[in-house]
Amino acid sequence: MKEIDWSKLSFGYMPTDYNVRIYNREGKWGELEVSSSETINLHMAATCLHYGQEAFEGLKAFRGKDGKIRIFRLEENAARLQSTCKGILMAELPTERFKEAVLKVVKLNERFIPPYETGASLYIRPLLIGTGAQVGVKPADEYLFVIFVTPVGPYFKGGFSTNPYVITRKYDRAAPHGTGTFKVGGNYAASLRASKEAHDAGYSAEFYLDAKEHKYIDECGAANFFGIKNNTYITPLSSSILPSITNKSLMQLAEDMGLDVERRPIPEEELSTFEEAGACGTAAVISPIQRIDDPENNHSYVISKDGKPGPISTALYNKLRAIQYGDEPDVHNWVTIVE
Ligand code: PLP
Ligand code: COI
């Protein structure tokens, strides 16, 4: 294998040795299969190709100073995948089968897990698709669950540093009673134009408001939002955002650190009151927010006056990473060690 320069990894695809697959036929999940092929053989009328029966997940494995491999909150990802499958009428994979597949694919690709010192990790990408043929708009009768892995570095260039975001009203990511709480491919297709326009204009990502009134904060690109003020961690309560496992973890860590935690609708104007703010997710970890521009109203909410991450975001980031890499005790039982 060509030597990997771990310190130069970005958030991109790199082939690894194996992926794992489980087929659902006649309503039953089969045995786990190991594959070294990067392609999938699909029926041209598969429902994932026409009617968007596609779900995915994202989680990470970390190599600790002690050499052990730790996977973060995999049961939460299993549960969210089940929720997504309920949301678009796909066969649900039991948590035990999800866990079996994650452990197997990580173990098989052990040599791709970046060394501790690099701060990089192994991104684990499960997907579940309708493979059965249909022409009428209905759920498939066959499904395929696949997991591939790929080593990744920071999602945003510069890693833990502040970035600018831009509010979009031109495009919505998800409707109030739509599929925003599910991790389905369609939500990401719906975000591509907003994301491209934000990037082309020099922003880190697009910033969504609620689709009904464009009054409240929803999400930032493929990450949840949190703001900090008066020793309080505040994050949106919304029916159109993805329930982020990172955000859920940060709420717990904030509480552990003695902060109050509020989950409630956040009006856009409240952005001017935050002492710190960040985008959070598996890929983004915490990406501190420098400012959020609202070009349509010719306004800019500057969050970080000195351009640096704030002290509470920094403490939360360090705490989360320390648990993930095994530098600090896993008091909440979030980590699965790969034996
Ligand atoms: N919001 C969206 C739209 C996402 O795609 C992600 C990534 O998974 C998140 C939030 C963060 O979720 P998590 O922390 O579970 O990765
Ligand atoms: C994640 O944080 O895992 C994401 O899903 C973000 C993006 C790559 C879709």
Strand partners, 278: 226, 288
Considering every ligand atom shown, identify the ligand nearest to the alpha carbon of residue 126 and give its number: 2
Looking at ligand 2, which residue's alpha carbon is closest to its atom 5? Answer: 58
Give the distance (Å) from ligand 2 centre to CA of residue 331: 26
For ligand 1, what atom is nearest to the CA of residue 191? 3
Using DSSP's 3-state secondary structure scheme, residue 219 falls into strand
Give the distance (Å) from ligand 2 centre to CA of residue 13: 13
Give the distance (Å) from ligand 1 centre to CA of residue 281: 5
Reading the block at residue 82, the tokens are: 């089940």
Looking at ligand 2, which residue's alpha carbon is closest to its atom 3? Answer: 58
Q: What is the CATH number of domain 6-152?
A: 3.30.470.10
Q: What is the pLDDT of residue 1?
A: 59
For ligand 2, what atom is nearest to the CA of residue 188? 9
Which stretches within the chain are classed as H helix? 47-50, 74-87, 95-108, 185-189, 192-200, 245-256, 311-325
Residue with tokens 């498939």: 140
Contact 319, 259 (CB under 8 A): no
Give the distance (Å) from ligand 2 centre to CA of residue 291: 22
pTM for the whole structure: 0.97
Q: What is the pLDDT of residue 7?
A: 86
- Gap between the Cα atoms of 236 and 302, Å rounded: 19
Distances (CA, A) of 84 to 127, 151, 162, 265, 306: 11, 25, 32, 23, 40
- Gap between the Cα atoms of 15 and 125, Å rounded: 13
Domain ranges of the chain: 6-152, 163-324
Looking at ligand 1, which residue's alpha carbon is closest to its atom 5? Answer: 222
Tell which residue, 20, 29, 223, has the closest CA to residue 126.
20
Angle, CA of 223, 226 and 232, to the nearest 5° = 160
Tell which residue, 196, 187, 186, 254, has the closest CA to residue 218.
187
Topology of the domain comprising 163-324: D-amino Acid Aminotransferase; Chain A, domain 2 (3.20.10)
For ligand 1, what atom is nearest to the CA of residue 221? 3
Give the distance (Å) from ligand 2 centre to CA of residue 281: 7
Query: DSSP per residue over 14-68, as a string?
Result: ---S-EEEEEEETTEE---EEE--S-----TTBHHHHS--EEE--EEEEE-TTS-
> CB within 6 Å of ligand 1 — which residues?
58, 219, 222-224, 242, 244-247, 281-282
Does the Cβ of 222 fall within 6 Å of ligand 2? yes
Does the Cβ of 127 fall within 6 Å of ligand 2? no
Q: Give the mutation target among 80, 187, 244, 334 for probing the ligand 1 site: most ligand atoms within 8 A of CB.
A: 244
- Gap between the Cα atoms of 309 and 312, Å rounded: 9
Give the distance (Å) from ligand 2 centre to CA of residue 206: 14
Reading the block at residue 202, the tokens are: 């020099």
| pLDDT tens track, the chain, 339 positions | 578 999 889 899 999 999 999 999 999 999 999 999 999 999 999 999 999 999 999 999 999 999 999 999 999 999 999 999 999 999 999 999 999 999 999 999 999 999 999 989 999 999 999 999 999 999 999 999 999 999 999 887 777 999 999 999 999 999 999 999 999 999 999 999 999 999 999 999 999 999 999 999 999 999 999 999 999 999 999 999 999 999 999 999 999 999 999 999 999 999 999 999 999 999 999 999 999 999 999 999 999 999 999 999 999 999 999 999 999 999 999 999 998
Reading the block at residue 245, the tokens are: 């496992």
Considering every ligand atom shown, identify the ligand nearest to the alpha carbon of residue 155 and give its number: 2
Distances (CA, A) of 229 to 122, 206, 219, 259, 285: 33, 23, 18, 10, 20
Distances (CA, A) of 109 to 113, 126, 150, 164: 7, 15, 9, 36
